[in-house]
Amino acid sequence: MAGRSPQRDLTIGPVGKTLFLFALPSLGVNILQSVNHSVNSVWIGQFLGETALAASANAGMIIFLMFSALFGFSMATTILIGQNVGRGQIESVRRIMGTATGLFLAAGIAVALLGWLFAPALLRLMATPEAAYPLALAYLRVMFLSMPTSFVMILISSSLRGAGDSVTPFRNTLVNVGLDIVLNPVFILGLGPIPALGIAGSALATVIAGLISLSLLIRQVYAKDLVIRLRGEELGWLRPDAAWVKPITKMGLPMGLSMIIMSGSAVVMIGLVNREGVDTTAAFGVMNQLWSYVQMPAVAVGGAVSAMVAQNIGANKWDRVGRIAWAGAGINVLMTAVLIAAITIFATPILRLFIPAGSAAIPIAIHINLVIGWSFLLMGISVVVTFAVRANGAVIAPLLILIFATIIVRFSIGFGFYDRYGADAIWWAFNLAAISSFLLSIGYYFHGGWRKLKPLA
């Protein structure tokens, strides 16, 4: 490989330092994507009004579900590539990359076509308000056109992390987000020779930013001769190979389903929150926005743990696997604790950025955070441990744990005790779900036999 390659050998060096430095760019990606979403919402809201903002929110929920399902397959590819990089089997890495690229590109094209056709039905299914429906349809249809490039870009980024490179995906996200933010007002308002396209222009800006950043990302892969690149006869591996489709699907389906279950469970609980009235709904909505930042370290560190554990399993360095998992848990606890403490200590001034001073929603939000906030420490440990065991192909047990915690426990407590304890039953439902997930995840890590699973490929 070229000397300037940003790929990192995750099977050597001090575990804690290597993991921390590897996870930081992934955390940066999560922050950039959240900032991008927020800024684009500001453009739409300021230039086109509340109806357009509601339209983009409705369309955005559908797009989010698409990417939630895709998450599992991208993580499966990350794990397979990580294990084969650890074994030093570069040809297998490229065969996996070829199969995955063929699958993701085909899936992206299929979703784009089906999404364009069924966008009206999807929006009707969500009961999109009539005033927002035409705008939501225009926005959603253009967004569906971005699916092929978005799917491939997500695949390349996750595959690079599996190969030990988290810097290139971060730099690409920086370019993508920068372009999207700059192009949004250009296409919304019609600056220069560009016609004013309204909300469709916001979606088109996202499509164009994705095309440009994907082109630059592919150029980087080949310019730096990164391990996932395909040349010459290797391009024939873009035709999906059943030998690799099977493990990608076997792991990808349960992990994708996990994301859908988490999202669906949250939607159901929001329906319960809505019973408490607009102030509680607003308070919970704002806290969810703030908690999205609290959860970022767990996602970034968990992804880094998964790639690092996969490489070390591939290299048969099992003595490092446990150290990686617990280093990840420790790093996440520290980062999450700082964020929770900041939100708790400065709750009032932070909430006033979202809610008018004197609103009844502010004390409600503070109470919600005091009850639920600490549970993100346990949730973060569960996430990191789950990512570690998945790196050896253990995906069914984490899925069952998730179903038990987020559906059986959360719904039983929330709905079962709501009539007696009101809103506090909802908040404690989240806590008890986090506690049960933590205990079961730790139990499975120590006693689940995931280390004895057969090699994935």
CB 175 within 8 A of CB 211: no
Angstrom distance (rounded) from CA 150 to CA 206 = 10
Asked if the structure places residue 211 within a domain, the reply is yes
- Confidence bin at 288 (pLDDT 50/70/90): confident
Q: Do residue 227 and residue 301 come from a single domain? A: no
Give the pLDDT score at 455: 63
Residues 6+ apart with CB under 8 A from 9: 164, 311
Both tokens of 304, joined, read 């880094």
Angstrom distance (rounded) from CA 172 to CA 420 = 51
Helices marked H in 126-234 — which ranges? 133-145, 147-162, 167-189, 199-223
Window from 34-38, 52-56, 232-236, 294-298 with minimum mean pLDDT? 52-56
Q: Which of 217, 240, 263 is the last residue of a domain?
A: 240
Q: Do residue 133 and residue 227 come from a single domain? A: yes
- Indicate the number of domains in the chain: 2
Window from 130-139, 154-163, 260-269, 289-298 with minimum mean pLDDT? 260-269
Both tokens of 87, joined, read 């074994």
User: 């222009």: which residue's tokens?
Assistant: 201
CB 162 within 8 A of CB 10: no
Q: Do residue 66 and residue 179 come from a single domain? A: yes
* DSSP state, residue 406: I
Q: Which of 206, 240, 274 is the last residue of a domain?
A: 240
The percentage of the chain sitting over the pLDDT mark of 70, rounded to a whole number, equals 98
Q: Do residue 306 and residue 234 come from a single domain? A: no
Q: Do residue 189 and residue 226 come from a single domain? A: yes
What mean pLDDT comes out for the span 140-155?
94
Q: Do residue 234 and residue 316 come from a single domain? A: no
Give the pLDDT score at 213: 96
Phi, psi of 215 (to 5 degrees): -60, -45
Q: Do residue 378 and residue 397 come from a single domain? A: yes
pLDDT mean across residues, the chain: 91
Asked if the structure places residue 153 within a domain, the reply is yes
Q: Do residue 199 and residue 344 come from a single domain? A: no
Asked if the structure places residue 201 within a domain, the reply is yes
* DSSP state, residue 236: G
- Confidence bin at 307 (pLDDT 50/70/90): very high
Q: Measured in whole angstroms, how far is the alpha carbon of residue 227 from the centre of its chain?
A: 24
CB 264 within 8 A of CB 403: no
Give the pLDDT score at 456: 62
169 has pLDDT over 80: yes
334 has pLDDT over 90: yes
Asked if the structure places residue 7 within a domain, the reply is no
Q: Considering Cα of 125, then 128, then 131, then 134, what sign does the dihedral take?
A: negative
What mean pLDDT comes out for the span 275-297?
86
Q: Do residue 300 and residue 159 come from a single domain? A: no
Asked if the structure places residue 271 within a domain, the reply is yes
Q: Do residue 202 and residue 274 come from a single domain? A: no
- pTM of this structure: 0.87
What mean pLDDT comes out for the span 1-30?
83
Asked if the structure places residue 346 within a domain, the reply is yes
Q: Do residue 254 and residue 112 come from a single domain? A: no
Residue 130, CA distances (Å) to 51, 58, 133 in order: 10, 12, 5
**DSSP H/E element including 428:** helix 423-447
The predicted-structure confidence for 81-120, as pLDDT tens digits, reads as follows 999 999 999 999 999 999 999 999 999 999 999 999 999 9
Please count the other Cβ atoms lying within 10 Å of the Cβ belonging to residue 188: 26
Give the pLDDT score at 1: 39
277 has pLDDT over 90: no
The predicted-structure confidence for 201-250, as pLDDT tens digits, reads as follows 999 999 999 999 999 999 999 999 999 999 999 999 999 999 999 999 99
Angstrom distance (rounded) from CA 283 to CA 265 = 19
Give me the domain span that covers residue 179: 15-240
What mean pLDDT comes out for the span 329-341?
96
Give the pLDDT score at 281: 83
Asked if the structure places residue 350 within a domain, the reply is yes
- Confidence bin at 418 (pLDDT 50/70/90): very high
Residues 6+ apart with CB under 8 A from 11: 86, 311, 312, 315, 317, 320
Both tokens of 122, joined, read 């999807």
Asked if the structure places residue 227 within a domain, the reply is yes
Give the pLDDT score at 2: 43
Please count the other Cβ atoms lying within 10 Å of the Cβ belonging to residue 374: 15
Q: Do residue 284 and residue 330 come from a single domain? A: yes
Q: Which of 218, 240, 262 is the last residue of a domain?
A: 240
Q: Residue 429, exposed/middle/buried by CB under 10 A (0-12, 13-18, 19+)?
A: buried
CB 141 within 8 A of CB 205: no
What mean pLDDT comes out for the span 255-275?
85
8 has pLDDT over 80: no
Window from 29-33, 129-133, 295-299, 452-456 with minimum mean pLDDT? 452-456
